[in-house]
Amino acid sequence: MSSPTVLVVGGGVAGAACAIQLRAHGVNVTVAEKTIFPRSKVCGCCIGGSGIETLGKLGRLEPTIDGQYSPVFHRIMSSAVQVNQWRGSIGGRTVHVELPSGIAISRETLDNALLDEAKEAGCEVHMACLATITNVAKDTIAVSMERSTGKQEQLFDLVIMASGLNTSGVAATLPWTESPHGPFGVSWTATCNELDSHVIHMACDDDGYVGLVRIENGRVDIAAALRSGSEASQQGTPADRVMKILARSEFPAYRWESPSKVLTTPPLRRARVAGAGRLMAIGDASGYVEPFTGEGMTWGMQSGIAAANRIGRAIQAGSVDDLCHTGHRWDRELRGLLRRKKFTCRVIANLLRSRLARKTVGSTLATFPKIANPLIRHLSQR
């Protein structure tokens, strides 16, 4: 079978990882990204052991031999700040948990590096190009590609939705199984000389949780998931509420300048049918829980690689039928791939919404921090 034409909608971590892996299978890939990179994005900017391992495997079809990682892996690791401790303010206690591996890197640097790698691997990348699915037929998908120069309709054999939490243009094509609800995300960067480098700080209370980490340009990334709803919003602007959580925490009273550009997201919790026919969804576009365990980018890259490998297998089998049903099979495969990790994240985030649970967890971890080790090992595994 000749290579199908594949469009990846969205050039974030999931879309870029998928595009790189598709090129390894020799597939013709076009990526449409509606913004111009580097672009900022609501994110805590931390990647743990499992994500680092995934980055090392990008674009490889064979298992990675120790030390032989992808070129983009070396570029990202040399730009990133290593993190080796998680410091939490939970239930009135400060908790220190050692981390075996982890990095912090701005989304400007990370996403740009991954998309550059996709270009180098031979993907056709269109920046400032809004893709809108206009028709899903049995054997092709029609997409309107809108640039500043005008709109053009193109046909593709397969379309991969990697459009993140923003559903404009591709929303109606795959139904929700859990429509967006729950906390929303907030982030910005700031200077703060007092904050320790190499440490992820996280403060939790009734209004949500805030993560702080120093990134590669020396600035601090501030990212939070806050309660949504009208009652919660009466407590102030998202930035005010983040500052109040930090002020109520056990962390020192760091000095912050007022934020100049605060980014927010729609409600985070969602799930959808991740594929049908020739349409597949990956990363946040396929569903999200919330950022508590800091794995969204890893889930995005892993789902992107797995989707590309599924397409690669269908091409190798030479089966048009396989290709037509890729989406349906993908829905099942993706649920199996991320079910345990998403379940763990959901349980922890739900638990820590209770004041009593935060008090218990805070005092237990403050006395016996090693109790967290099995959880960290679980999160570091693929």
Ligand X SMILES: Cc1cc2nc3c(=O)[nH]c(=O)nc-3n(C[C@H](O)[C@H](O)[C@H](O)COP(=O)(O)OP(=O)(O)OC[C@H]3O[C@@H](n4cnc5c(N)ncnc54)[C@H](O)[C@@H]3O)c2cc1C
Tell me the residue type at 378: H
Contact between residue 223 and residue 201 where contact means Cβ atoms under 8 Å apart: no
Minimum distance of ligand X from residue 55's CB (angstroms): 11
Q: Which residues pair with 9 in a beta bridge?
A: 32, 161
Minimum distance of ligand X from residue 15's CB (angstroms): 5
Closest CA to 114 of 184, 59, 161: 59
Minimum distance of ligand X from residue 328's CB (angstroms): 21
Nearer to ligand X, 46 or 72 (CB): 46
Minimum distance of ligand X from residue 159's CB (angstroms): 11
Two tokens, residue 271? 């799930």
Two tokens, residue 332? 């099942």
Minimum distance of ligand X from residue 289's CB (angstroms): 9
Nearer to ligand X, 34 or 310 (CB): 34
Tell me the residue type at 127: M
β strands within 71-175, DSSP E? 81-82, 85-90, 93-98, 102-104, 124-126, 130-136, 141-147, 150-156, 158-161
Minimum distance of ligand X from residue 316's CB (angstroms): 26
Minimum distance of ligand X from residue 107's CB (angstroms): 7
Backbone torsions φ then ψ of 280, nearest 5 degrees:
-135, 145
For residue 318, the SS3 value is: coil
Nearer to ligand X, 173 or 326 (CB): 173
Going from the C-alpha of 326 to that of each of 82, 159, 313, the distances in angstroms are 38, 11, 10
Distance CA 368, CA 78 (A): 34
Contact residues for ligand X, defined by CB under 6 A: 9-15, 32-35, 41-47, 130-131, 162-164, 166, 168-170, 185, 187, 223-225, 265, 268, 283-285, 291, 294-298, 300
Nearer to ligand X, 43 or 55 (CB): 43
Nearer to ligand X, 102 or 327 (CB): 102
Nearer to ligand X, 103 or 315 (CB): 103
Nearer to ligand X, 33 or 315 (CB): 33
Minimum distance of ligand X from residue 162's CB (angstroms): 5
For residue 102, the SS3 value is: strand
Closest CA to 287 of 326, 329, 330: 330
**List of residues 6+ apart from 84 with CB closer than 8 A:** 98, 99, 102, 198, 199
Tallying the residues shown for the chain, one arrives at: 382
Nearer to ligand X, 15 or 315 (CB): 15
Distance CA 101, CA 74 (A): 15
